[in-house]
Amino acid sequence: MKAVLLGTGWRAHFYMRISIKLPDILNIVSVYTRSEKREEEIRKEGFNAFSDLDAALSFDHDAVIIASGKEGFLQILRFLHERGEKLISETSFLPLTDEELEELSMYDGLVMEQYMHTPLFSAVSGFLSSIDDKPDQLYLSGLHNHHSAAVARRILGTGFRMPEEIHSMSFSSRMVKTGSRSGMDRGGKTEEYERKARMMRLGDALFIHDFSSNQYHSYLYGRHFEIRGRSFVITEDGVRTVDKAGYPLFLPFIFHRDTASGNGSLSLSHVSAGGKTVFVNPYYPVEMNDDEIAMAIMLEQYGKGINLYPFREGTMDAKLGRLL
């Protein structure tokens, strides 16, 4: 798939890395940036870069990737939609009004909500599809509002249902500061943060969202979840269930990785649980992180005409995410 990329920030670099590693799946034909300085820097990275949007869009392409942040986000989507472009968008829907979300829900395109296609959540889906039992409870800590909503709706199978019942609490907290957006912090300073917990009922399902304002930048946290059904509990570590004789079992998720060459990055080949493979990395042995694997899966399917996360899904998760 040939694509024009709008944006040069950290979001955009995911797509750039995928296009370098998997050019048959994504070929970035041009990059648009508002900064002439960034234009020159991106050209040095091997991409056609322009600070003029018309110039960037003049290249033959199949889709336009919008990874330019929140500034002017809706306006650029409208402009490209009116041009009849095939859209691949980031998930910056949360600040929009209900009217704007309703407008976007009618757009044709892919929203890059990749968490359910990362190796870990793909392994969870692989296990759930292999058993005759459905989850009805989810505790999730570690994802922002709309990302958490997207995972919850997919795992619990609640469709477009909104919660019938919500209970909330915010808790002022303190913790040693260990990191920031720029990296590790070893100063030992105590930082104030807010922990928010939301408990909601969606039909017959229970969803608990737990998030702390400093969670993305602390080395003391991790991403945690617990999925409960009649005969199993799934966490980020593995599956607790029972065998046919009624004996309890623990099936750990094992991430099979190896080094591609020398001291190179670890390459994931597959994930197993209880002696069964529950996820296969289709791009092994290419060195990619979990987000890149998930995004590549979505891009490859979209190139084949399969939209794993349309705009209607993204706008729904923004509405649910506002409640978290």
Check if the beta carbon of residue 226 is closer than 8 Å to that of residue 233. Answer: yes
Question: Could you tell me if 274 and 182 lie in one domain?
Answer: yes
Predicted confidence band of residue 260 (pLDDT cuts 50, 70, 90): low
CA distances from 58 to 4, 31, 48, 62, 103 (A): 9, 11, 12, 12, 27
Quote the tokens at residue 239: 């599956």
Residue 263 clears pLDDT 70, i.e. is over it: no
> What is the pLDDT at residue 36?
86
**CB within 8 A of 249, min separation 6: which ones?**
239, 240, 241, 242, 243, 274
Give the total number of structural domains in the chain: 2
> Where is the domain boundary, 90, 105, 139?
90
Write the pLDDT tens digit of every residue in 269-292.
999 999 899 999 999 999 999 999
Question: Could you tell me if 147 and 243 lie in one domain?
Answer: yes
Question: Could you tell me if 161 and 78 lie in one domain?
Answer: no
Residue whose token pair is 């997919």: 154
Residue 264 clears pLDDT 80, i.e. is over it: no
Answer yes or no: is 51 within a domain.
Answer: yes
Quote the tokens at residue 299: 């891009």
Check if the beta carbon of residue 112 is closer than 8 Å to that of residue 12. Answer: no
DSSP structural state of residue 310: B
Task: Report helix, strand or coil for 3.
Answer: strand
Q: Which domain holds residue 20?
A: 2-90
Answer yes or no: is 62 within a domain.
Answer: yes
Output the CA torsion sign for 94, 100, 105, 108: negative
Question: Could you tell me if 134 and 219 lie in one domain?
Answer: yes
Question: Could you tell me if 18 and 167 lie in one domain?
Answer: no
Residue 261 clears pLDDT 70, i.e. is over it: no
Question: Could you tell me if 75 and 173 lie in one domain?
Answer: no
Cα–Cα nearest to 196, from 183, 184, 209? 209
What gap in Å lies between CA 311 and CA 223, rounded to an integer? Answer: 26
Write the pLDDT tens digit of every residue in 49-94.
999 999 999 999 999 999 987 778 999 999 999 999 999 999 989 9
Question: Could you tell me if 155 and 282 lie in one domain?
Answer: yes
Phi/psi of residue 53, each to 5°?
Answer: -65, -40
Answer yes or no: is 306 within a domain.
Answer: no
Question: Could you tell me if 220 and 182 lie in one domain?
Answer: yes
Question: Could you tell me if 128 and 252 lie in one domain?
Answer: yes
Quote the tokens at residue 41: 């820097």
Supply the pTM of this predicted model. 0.93
The CATH number for 244's domain is: 3.30.360
Write the pLDDT tens digit of every residue in 22-44.
999 999 999 999 888 899 999 99
> Where is the domain boundary, 90, 123, 146?
90
Answer yes or no: is 190 within a domain.
Answer: yes
Question: Could you tell me if 215 and 122 lie in one domain?
Answer: yes
Answer yes or no: is 106 within a domain.
Answer: no
Question: Could you tell me if 137 and 280 lie in one domain?
Answer: yes
The CATH number for 49's domain is: 3.40.50.720
Check if the beta carbon of residue 285 is closer than 8 Å to that of residue 74. Answer: no
> What is the pLDDT at residue 265?
61
Question: Could you tell me if 240 and 131 lie in one domain?
Answer: yes
Arithmetic mean of pLDDT over the chain: 94
Answer yes or no: is 119 within a domain.
Answer: yes
**CB within 8 A of 119, min separation 6: which ones?**
255, 268, 271, 279, 281, 290, 293, 294
Answer yes or no: is 50 within a domain.
Answer: yes
Answer yes or no: is 95 within a domain.
Answer: no
Write the pLDDT tens digit of every residue in 136-195.
999 999 999 999 999 999 999 999 999 999 999 999 999 999 998 788 999 999 999 999
> Where is the domain boundary, 90, 125, 145?
90
Q: Which of 26-40, 108-122, 253-267 has the lowest mean pLDDT?
A: 253-267
